[in-house]
Structure 1
Amino acid sequence: MAAVDARRVERGDLDVIDTHEELAAAITRLRDGHGPIAIDTERASGFRYSDRAYLVQIFRRGSGTLLIDPIPFGSLADLAAAIQDEQWILHAATQDLPCMREIDLIPNNLFDTELASRLLGKDRVGLGAVVEELLGIELAKAHSADDWSVRPLPASWLAYAALDVELLIDVRDRLAEELIDAGKDGWAKEEFEHLLGFRPKPHDPERWRRISRLSSLRSPRQLAVARELWLARDDYARETDTAPGRIIPDRAIVAAAQALPRTLNKLAALKTFTGKESRTQIDRWGAAIRRGLTTEELPQRTARSGNGIPHPKGWANKRPEADARFKAARPAVADTAEQLHVPTDNLLTPAYLRQVCWEPVGTDAESISQQLANLGARQWQIDITAPVIAEAFVEAA
């Protein structure tokens, strides 16, 4: 395995840019460079409630590496304007685009190296794995889960962060060649254009159901207490910008919901009710439990579907014809994906297939194509999957 050769990495200095004078100089450096722009961000999701960027890494040939602390600036619109006409390269863009948008770093043209790897059917698509496969360089991931909101950032962290972008253009070049060779460059172009409009899904009002081991709670009253504790924790986490699990862990919520303590003393006596703020915010948690114990809005055992479509497990009883369509179409789409060496989820979003099977506007390829387009499928996906789904529907009839 080749080590990272410092001579082949076109480094600038690795000092963090955190003043307006330094940012102006960095923008000049970027303008003097050439070719696409590699961009990455570091967040502190395991430590903070917000998903804001605490470091922005940028690399361009002829410009070197720029490490920018976005916190003092609020907006990096001037920097974005300087590189707006160039292609921006990201790895797993959906992870970075929301926090980039918050600081006005909004691309007009992008290349996602993770998504390109998926379209090419690579077994491993993490940045380290892709760099290792294409460039023969092993990247350490020692600081990927660190708290990037701390200041000052250690030099070893900055060196790690720099490598995430310093090799990204080389990776992009190799992947672009492979996409052309595989005849998938058109697919990638459509996918990258679609990503430009990416927005995170609106918050699900039933997010509390993601509590670990929630299934161990048997009664609606226990679920109500768990829900109220989760909501109270979420409010406090947002208020203090702290990762919820660092306030009280999920297991503490489940333990309290199982015990249903009716007084603060009984709650405080629960050894299983743990966490950094389990005692300092005891009044908050006690109030949440009281709400759960007295509410008349008791949750159902299973979550409501956001689009009104029940889980496919229940289709056979509720709508047998939809069940037959789904059981014919899903393996047909999966087989097509395997033949094309692309993950099934990338060939067609599973929710789109469920919608078409549950309530098709028509069962012919043209009707299915239109419905998929209305749902948000890209044209390359429609061209491949609509005929496959239509044929499966005929078999299911």
Structure 2
Amino acid sequence: MIPILPEGAAKPDAQASPADAAHAGAAQAAQAWLKQGSLQLRSLPPLSLYVHFPWCVRKCPYCDFNSHEAKNGIPEAEYLAALRRDLELALPLIWGRPIHSVFIGGGTPSLLSAAGMERLMSDLRSLLPLAPDVEITMEANPGTFEAEKFAAFRQLGVNRLSIGVQSFDSAKLHALGRIHDGEQARAALEIASRHFDNFNLDLMFALPGQSLAELQEDLAQALSWRPPHLSYYHLTLEPNTLFAKFPPDLPDDDLSADMQELIFAQTAAAGLAHYEVSAYARPDCQARHNRNYWEFGDYLGIGPGAHSKLSFAHRIVRQMRYKQPQTWITQCQAGAPLQQEHEVGRDELGFEFMLNALRLEDGFALNLFAERTGLPLSVIDAALQDAQRRGLLEVDHRWIKPSPLGKRFLNDLQQLFLHDA
């Protein structure tokens, strides 16, 4: 068993003790193993599929996703043919592995026609072994909701929606550059709740000029729909966005912290468990697709700019497709949609695993690290002990999870594992 310092143990003095020397020796041995040992994955993790739809009606000023305004319409038939070709080219890498979840994201995938969605779902079913209880999620934005089309999506097999509401306040939506207003947001939820038992609401807080009372009103409206799942993100200014170039007036850190505390309290009172940094769910309604990311599962991404992480017995690879839609379509037709592919180094795997798994409120079982990375937990022993000394981790013989302090300073906690690589 890996030696872990008791929680709250004092930081060692500058003079090394015998225990410190043993710890340093273990760290050196772990690094030597990383250089010489062989990756050993005894079983492959669950596999998900991500399908990217790159077009939207209008690019939001805060958005850094690979999305493009559909100024001249959407080349739907050409895009769907390229998607099928992209998937066919990837099949040898995942042959025979069941797909446990599908996520159709964007952009705004709800711009697809019902006939286009039927073609996509037919292609997925003919080429892939979808699990009997597969979760199939589609992102949808208010302003693109048509009752008949969404009823057709449900009949075609989409069994979960992720609805980009962001706010119910029309003034705030205008400030965010959204194409819908509060009334359209409520109309979209009425349609979604009529046709889908399982749906997620995407909301943001710390919006331009937002007060605590306005946040409370947004949250109350969201909870009144009794959503099975709620994603609540802090608005951040991402590089290469309009907001980064022309920053709006955002709430300060103290007000943002008060907003987050209010979200924690109100979602808990409504029966939504806080299970990941920005995710809240009713029992049995956690997002299986996203949870697979956080537990370092595998995913195949198809479509422009889509990323993949695929495991094999002795290696783990990452891929990225060409980003610009027309370039990706051309490359698919030529049989070469990948722009980048590389094997993840053994010295990177510990950080990559912890970067994802530490986002989970309840952490992860000890054996999951070896199962998903093919490495012994000893390779991150130094960082584990450092994190526990600082009071950022709680560790027992079965489980590792961020402490309350670790949740508050998650970035600092994750960085410790980067330094240990």
Q: Which has the larger radius of gyration?
A: 1
Q: Which has the higher strand share?
A: 2
Q: Of Structure 1 and Structure 2, which has the larger fraction of its residues in helix?
A: 1
Mark yes or no: TM-score above 0.5.
no
The TM-score normalised by the length of structure 1 is 0.25
| TM-score, normalisation: structure 2 | 0.24
